[in-house]
Amino acid sequence: MRYSPEHKAQSHENILSVAARSFREYGGDTSGVGTVMKKAGLTKGGFYRHFESKDDLFVEAVARAFEQMGSGMVEVAKSAPKGQELRAMIEHYLSPRHAASPGMGCVVSALGPEFSRKPLSVRKRIEASLDAYRERLLPFVPGHSREEKVEKCRLLFSSMAGVLMMARLASTPQKRDQMLMQARSFFIKSFAER
């Protein structure tokens, strides 16, 4: 049976949405093609009509996750009072709600260790998505030059991803929340206060 190009595009988008969430929630290696296709309401056999390989799906799903994260962070920044944009982003990122929602949260904190084990060609494509994400955040990062802003952004967001990953390991919600609170305070003082 042949489907229209619109149907194929809609199915492709559905697969990406499901994969972006499933990979962050369960890991890219755990969420196999069959699992993703089943959650998308499609058969495993239809996968290759949309993607050449699981690595291609992984890269596109990660790009989708970065796009979603970027949109969310920009929204948080734009809704903050003038001069408080970065503080609001830090508070949002290091919130208990974000820590409790890996499937909808930061793709770096959820999949960072997996990224490092991917082939170089895949890592380069992921790095391009990370760079695009970072570009969206730069307007809200203080600095006297573009280079200084990029340096601060790299340090801040990779450090927060590590904190978020470790907070998710905490054995109790109280320990998790304490770790997040301490990190919020540190990063706000170090990066957002002028």
- Per domain, the residue ranges of the chain are 53-192
186-190 long-range contacts, CB within 8 A, separation 24+? 187/90, 187/94, 187/156, 187/159, 187/160, 188/87, 188/90, 188/91
pLDDT band at 136 (very low <50, low <70, confident <90, very high): very high
What CATH superfamily is the domain 53-192? Tetracycline Repressor, domain 2 (1.10.357.10)
Q: For residue 7, what pLDDT is reported?
A: 72
Q: For residue 1, what pLDDT is reported?
A: 57
How far is 98 from 106, CA to CA, in rounded Å? 8
| 2 has pLDDT over 70 | no
pTM for the structure as a whole: 0.90
